[in-house]
Amino acid sequence: MLALSGVGIGRGLLAANSSQIDCDVAVIGGGVGGVAAALAALRSELKVVLTEETDWIGGQLTQQAVPPDEHAWIEQFGSTAAYRRFRQGVREYYKRHYPLAAAAYSSEGLNPGNCGVSRLCHEPRVALAVLEGMLLPYLSRGQLVLLLEHQPVEAEVVGDRVAGVRVQDSRLGRYREIRAKYVIDATELGDLLPLTGTEYVTGAESKAQTGEPHAAENPAPFNMQAITWCFTIEYREGEDHTIDEPDEYRFWRDFVPELKPAWPGRQLSWTYTHPITTKPITADFDPRYQAERPGLWRYRRLIDPANFIDPRPPGVSLINWPQNDYLLGNVVEVSGAERAHHLERARQQSLSLLYWMQTEAPRADGGQGWPGLRLRGDLTGTDHGLAIRPYIRESRRIRAEFTVLEQHVGTEARQEVLGRKEAVEAESFKDSVGLGSYRIDLHPSTGGDNYIDISSLPFEIPLGALIPVRMENLLAGCKNVGTTHITNGCYRLHPVEWNIGESAGALAAYCVKNGAVPRQVRNSEEKLRDFQAHLQRQGIELRWPRPAANPR
């Protein structure tokens, strides 16, 4: 696989204008995996520093505004106990603070948005409140240091260990030096990997490299899944909330993606590619009939007015659709200026989608546009009306002790490996540290691929995928684990990222308390059994009930 050497490795970082914080575990990145990693280490009574680039923790749940994508059994099994506590916390928050209708209040499975994609579609601010509540006891007693709006800028590496990470306060410009026994990279793009010189890969591997049936013919390190700058809207009949025409509207209105298999026309259209068949489909969209129709409005609806009593809130939908997947460049292995360029274009694309829906989108009644669509930036914490950050599906990935391949988890690939069609299961990993289940779901990519959406089996998370091939005290804590471009498609979703982060935090804590290093834990039968027993005591499931068939 392609290895990219790190750059910017710092030496002797302590400076007159920096302050030093010593801790047991430093978690760099406060997304879903980062919060879960911090909580796991904190439960073991370690001192933890958690940093986050934005002013919201929670990653894809909050700053990216995407409600959880989950498997069909999530209410019963197949996630960690801490993740279930988060989910229950969301429901309890609504029941404690919102004027719910009687049926919604009494429902154990309350789904605030009654959406189509998740059993728990909810507002990003509620997820933020619940996650902050989970961290607050540790903040109160000084066990946790939370540094918001801090980003990593340098790292000090001694041999194969990270000695320190320097982070910069984006508000004040000052630096802090974090010294930790273990460092977990939970950044959205794997930003700590090049800073520390940790070996990593990006983009798509070739069939020759991985043997995966759906891998590319040639390696393409810059071919990554699209980012999407999500936004929330409500609809007010008879009102006009049309935004100013975006600067790039005319470009995006006429833009036709160049993909293989071919996209069916303009991206700003109700007709797009079916993710599984790649055949054209036409979606239904009419915000006037929110309760009766199952179309795009309900797909990721965050607020269903039927769940509330008067005065009811308006229905709110999250726009995370094929129409605002950004395909013209990636934001990973590029300069700061180029990253800013692509981020702005992705923002323009989403604003253009909204403007198109307000002004030119064809309606079933023969009209054009719904000017009553109103942007709800107040729900996503921004003045510009979109989410704080775009939805990131793919990042740098560590070159790991073990890399998960399609042959380990893909349904058809497993059938080929096992030589049978019935009763196939995903590879069972001796070093399992958690579970997940989701289709291998890759959105159209910056390299010109259309959807790659194929069946996968309920899978395990191998410990080896969290451990870099060389570094001794750095662990992967989110989407940057040892997967391929293909298997990232099922290891990137909310409950799996939480499990990855939680297991990484638990591993760091175990190593601190037992004087071990992660590789020793994985390669010693005694230590591995002991660590897995520790995970199970923490409520982390390691094996799926048998038999399990994937309904997604």
Residue pLDDT, tens place only, 403-457: 999 999 999 999 999 999 888 999 999 999 999 999 999 999 999 999 999 999 9
Long-range contacts of 202-206 (CB under 8 A, 24+ apart): 202/2, 202/4, 202/332, 202/333, 202/396, 202/397, 203/2, 203/330, 203/447, 203/485, 204/445, 204/447, 204/449, 204/485, 205/1, 205/2, 205/484, 205/485, 205/486
Say what the pLDDT of residue 292 is. Answer: 65
Residues 32/478, Cβ–Cβ less than 8 Å: yes
- What mean pLDDT is reported for the chain? 94
Tell me which H or E stretch contains 94.
helix 81-97
- Residue 310 pLDDT class (50, 70, 90 cuts): confident
Say what the pLDDT of residue 375 is. Answer: 98
> Distance between CA 370 and CA 394 in Å, rounded?
33
Token digits of residue 364: 């079933």
At position 389, the amino acid (one-letter code) is R
Residues 308/316, Cβ–Cβ less than 8 Å: no
pTM of the model: 0.95
Question: Over the stretch 35-78, which tens digit does the pLDDT of each residue have?
Answer: 999 999 999 999 999 999 999 999 999 999 999 999 999 999 99
pLDDT above 50 for 4: no
Mean pLDDT of 73-98: 97
pLDDT above 90 for 7: no
Say what the pLDDT of residue 547 is. Answer: 62
What phi and psi, each to the nearest 5 degrees, are found at residue 354?
A: -60, -45
- Residue 16 pLDDT class (50, 70, 90 cuts): very low
| Segments of 364-471 assigned E as strands | 373-375, 397-398, 432-436, 440-442, 452-454, 459-462
Question: Over the stretch 372-388, which tens digit does the pLDDT of each residue have?
Answer: 999 999 999 999 999 99
Say what the pLDDT of residue 47 is. Answer: 98
Question: Over the stretch 112-135, which tens digit does the pLDDT of each residue have?
Answer: 999 989 999 999 999 999 999 999
What share of the chain has pLDDT > 70, as a percent?
Answer: 95
pLDDT above 90 for 100: yes
Exposure b/e, 137-173, CB count within 10 A at least 16 = b: ebeeeebbbbbbbbbbebbbbeeebbbbbbbbeeeee
> Distance between CA 239 and CA 53 in Å, rounded?
37
Q: Strand 316-319 and strand 48-52: pairing?
A: unpaired
CB atoms within 10 A of CB 344: 13
- In the chain the first and final C-alpha atoms are separated, in Å, by 30
User: What SS3 class is residue 522?
Assistant: helix
Say what the pLDDT of residue 18 is. Answer: 57
Mean pLDDT of 140-150: 97
Find the Cα–Cα–Cα–Cα dihedral 382, 386, 388, 389, rounded to 10°.
Answer: -160
pLDDT above 90 for 321: yes
pLDDT above 60 for 9: no
Say what the pLDDT of residue 294 is. Answer: 77
User: What SS3 class is residue 112?
Assistant: coil
The ranges assigned to domains in the chain are 16-205+397-407+463-535, 227-380
Residues 495/458, Cβ–Cβ less than 8 Å: no
Mean pLDDT of 298-318: 94
SS3 content of the chain, % helix, strand, coil (to 5): 30, 20, 50
Say what the pLDDT of residue 198 is. Answer: 98
Mean pLDDT of 159-169: 97
Question: Over the stretch 495-511, which tens digit does the pLDDT of each residue have?
Answer: 999 999 999 999 999 99
Q: Strand 280-282 and strand 301-303: pairing?
A: unpaired
Assigned CATH topology for domain 16-205+397-407+463-535: FAD/NAD(P)-binding domain (3.50.50)
Say what the pLDDT of residue 222 is. Answer: 96
Mean pLDDT of 313-337: 96
Residues 30/51, Cβ–Cβ less than 8 Å: yes
Look-up: residue for tokens 């979606």?
283
